[in-house]
A and B are shown apart, each in its own frame.
Chain A
Amino acid sequence: MIFKNIHYLILALIFIIILMGILSLATGHLAISPSELVETALGEGSRRNELLLFEFRLPRLFIAILAGAALGVAGTLLQGITQNELADPGILGINAGAGLSVVLYLTYVSNRETTSPLGQMMTLPFAAFLGGLLAACCIYIVAWKNGVTPIRLILVGIGVNAGFGAVLTLFQLRMNQSAFNQVTVWLSGSIWNAHWSAVISLLPWVFILIPLSLYKSRTLNLLQLGDEMATGLGINTERERIKLVAIAVALTGASVSVAGGISFLGLGAPHIARKLVGNKHQRLVPTAACIGALILLISDMIARNLFAPSELPVGLIVAFLGAPYFIYLLITTEA
């Protein structure tokens, strides 16, 4: 634990997020100078800069921040519930379950003729939530035997991931080539097609579920003591665990429905947060949210600029940064 006063840390992190956010808005294939940025923000910029800023870059920025925060918190919850530092919605297959469900929902259930566009966007996170929940149930049924060892959880997660991936491939093979490519890019995590509507669909989930997670901090802390102790302290462990998993899956689902399957963020953000503020969830949850937002924001900036004007899927950048860390954890975690 480095920081005693969490308030200063959170303020500092938010300050960095804003700073990087401004940097992110100004960079890209078409550069915007600081003075143009101010002019445009005040509504006096050129039409080109207005489009660039308000319609292309700003929604992306918000999605990166919201989805990053959601994944950071989802990872924190999962790691807290399973008492397993290797838990991550991507690695466990919750992303894959949510992704499969979104693809099926868009292909078979909802279409433009029967659902209004905004209605569809708003219902997407629910579809993702159900798919993620299915994946979580699979993991729970297969892996849980009075708790679960880290390696067992990861192995089952890999299995669930592969299973959902296979089903998804089955559907993908029936798509035409361009839809196939889109699904592939989207599943590897992409916010290149960001819209304000996506921001709106994400907002309620993030703003309800993250405070709720914070509210559940005490329960999470008690769960760390083991089931017996927690029960002794008046916690209905089984029921609480299910509630918390549902929150984590909902956060993941919301983020998957707009940003695709971004892996390793839910793993890395809580780890960094834990190094900064220690194990108390009251401190961990907000810190992980900020760290998650910051990582995704920076990754998106890299994804946009590395090969500008072409873009990389942001999930690739996160994975590129996160995978080595995951391997390091695997090596250092005892079986």
Chain B
Amino acid sequence: MKHLWTTSVMLSASFMLAACGNSQVEAPEEETTEIPEEAAEGPKTLIDGLGNEVEIPSNPEKVLGSYLEDYLVSLDVTPVAQWSVSDGESIQDYLQEDLSGVPLIPHDLPYESVLEYEPDLMIIRDAVEQDMYEQYAQIAPTYVLKSSPTEWRETLTEVGEVLGMEGKAESVLETYDAKAQEKAEELSAVADSESAAAVWMVNNSLFVVHPERSSGAVMYGDLGLEIPEVVSNLSSDADWAAISLEELAQMDVDHLFFVNSDGPEAELFEDRLWQNIPAVQQDQVYQYGPETSWLYYGPIASEQVLDNVVDSITK
């Protein structure tokens, strides 16, 4: 079914090439002043995740990478617009220190909104967006990421490559790894081989993070906390797997990170089952709001989770 849109998109491309042959489809020639460092070579051509040859302008100034803002910001690139849902009802709050003042763009990236910001480079990933590829490609060179959304390191490297900032991306990774190691040592001094889990409550439903994804990768992979049995038994391909309160009550866990999207008045806190969870009774539940980075991917999100975990456990 994906073919339906992609192909109609593809074929309109070929038609438009025939129809208006000259200027539009080509990437706009960048004639801005050369910025030394890494963008010395001029425009380059990359093959993107859809197999398209994308001509990347040598020094993109107006970059649009909706839901990839974490990576862009970590590379010191401020996007022309930032991801949002329902007219700004939901944005990536944890990045607002760097993104305040950046205008919002609806998450489904309508063409006319994209055109409004006239980006000179677009980086996209979502499947729905891929279907609209050819329309975007007419607005600006559009690169569809190859890396998996669950692999933030690969994504960062790829975004760095697209922007001609391979070196910068590598140093961001190195800085992160150094910090992770330092934090892991700090943690093992006080909580050696203790277990932890991150649970997200939204609309009175509970979800537990996948041990290799998002904040799960940070807790277990980078900080070396133990995975509780209940978590490793959950066989789900989702970043956050549904878990019942009963299962949660049985979880033998030393530290529970609780991401609460429902606010302090949630019904759950009244529940006897909840009140009897060992971590709750021993006051080892650390609450975080949805404005924190626990639900996200990226170098900045991960770094904030590092800090959150270690601060909570060592305080």
Contacts and interface: CB of A to CB of B under 8 A. Distances in A.
Interface of A: 28-30, 47-48, 50-52, 54-56, 102-103, 106-107, 110-112, 116-118, 120-121, 172, 175-176, 178-183, 186, 193, 195-198, 200, 308-311
A203 to B, nearest CB: 13
A56 B11 CA distance: 15
B188 interface: no
A171 B15 CA distance: 31
A46 to B, nearest CB: 10
B113 A200 contact: no
Contacts of B35: none
Given A310-B106, A310-B110, A106 B12 contact: no
Given A51-B138, A56-B111, A182-B1, 14 more contacts: A55-B138, A102-B4, A107-B3, A117-B14, A121-B7, A172-B1, A180-B1, A195-B9, A196-B19, A197-B12, A200-B15, A308-B110, A309-B116, A310-B106
Choose among B4, B24, B110 the residue with the greatest number of A CB atoms under 10 Å from its CB: B4
Given A118-B11, A179-B127, A309 B112 contact: yes
Given A51-B138, A106-B1, A111-B3, A178 B127 contact: yes
Interface stretch (B52-60, B128-136, B261-269, B295-303): B128-136
A160 B20 CA distance: 44
A48 to B, nearest CB: 6
A198 B14 contact: no
B8 A30 contact: no
A102 B135 CA distance: 22
B118 interface: yes
A197 B3 contact: no
Interface residues on B, range: 35 or more
B7 to A, nearest CB: 5
A55 B16 contact: yes
Q: What 3 pairs across the A-B complex have the smallest Cβ distances?
A: A117-B11, A195-B12, A178-B127
B178 interface: no
B180 interface: no
A48 B120 CA distance: 12
A52 B115 contact: yes
B146 to A, nearest CB: 17
B266 to A, nearest CB: 27
A56 B110 CA distance: 11
Contacts of B111: 56
A193 B5 contact: yes
A257 to B, nearest CB: 10
B128 A182 contact: yes
A273 B144 CA distance: 48
B108 interface: yes
Given A178-B126, A179-B127, A121 B11 contact: yes
Contacts of B315: none
B11 A197 contact: yes
A193 B131 contact: yes
Contacts of A196: 12, 15-16, 19
B1 A183 contact: yes
Interface string B1-37: 1111111111111111001100110000000000000
Nearest to B109: A309
Contacts of A183: 1, 4
A63 B234 CA distance: 48
B279 interface: no
Given A51-B115, A107-B3, A121 B110 contact: no
B7 A309 contact: no
Contact of A30 (B1, B2, B115, B126): B115
Contacts of A102: 4
A310 B108 contact: yes
Given A112-B10, A193-B9, A193-B131, A56 B112 contact: yes
B139 interface: yes
Nearest to A110: B3
Given A117-B7, A196-B12, A197-B8, A175 B112 contact: no
B112 A106 contact: no
Contacts of A30: 112, 115-116
A242 to B, nearest CB: 30
